[in-house]
Amino acid sequence: MNTTTRWTSAVLPHPRTALALGLLLYAATAAQADAVRNFPPAALRGQLEVVTPPAVQLDGKADQLSMGARIRDTRNLLVTSATLADGQVHLVNYTRDPQGQLNEVWLLTDEEAALPRASASPSWYQRWFGL
């Protein structure tokens, strides 16, 4: 008695069904990659340079990452602060924890950077006119 044929036909889907599911998953992930991420309303924008983790420069001022800081790259994947310690300045959105340290950081894509967002450091316009 050959039970292998019955087992594979019961577990493995039809090749067309598998192809259709694969294409559907590919389309879903491609659409998600093109979408602009939703950031918390309290997130601010700044320029981040990782000096020596956890020490960073945020908008040219010394700052520090929190113990459990999460840094997400432009694909929304978690990255370590050590991988960003290359001397480059990154445009980011960030939130702070109750102690005032950087808690969540998102590296921005060009589309996300074009969207308006409040900054912790006032712009020249705000400083000049006292807004």
Report how far residue 71's alpha carbon sits from residue 65's, in angstroms, rounded to the nearest whole number. Answer: 10
Residues in the chain predicted with pLDDT less than 50, given as ranges, are 131
State pTM to two decimals: 0.68
Residue 33 pLDDT: 55
Residue 16 pLDDT: 74
Residue 114 pLDDT: 92
Beta bridge partners of 91: 47
Residue 36 pLDDT: 85
Report how far residue 101's alpha carbon sits from residue 96's, in angstroms, rounded to the nearest whole number. Answer: 5
Per-residue model confidence as pLDDT tens digits over 38-69: 999 999 999 999 999 999 999 999 999 999 99
3-state per-residue secondary structure call for the chain: CCCHHHHHHHHCCCHHHHHHHHHHHHHHHHHHHHCCCCCCCCCEEEEEEEEECCEEEECCEEEEEEEEEEEECCCCCEECHHHHCCCCCEEEEEEECCCCCEEEEEECCHHHHHCCCCECCCCHHHHHHCC
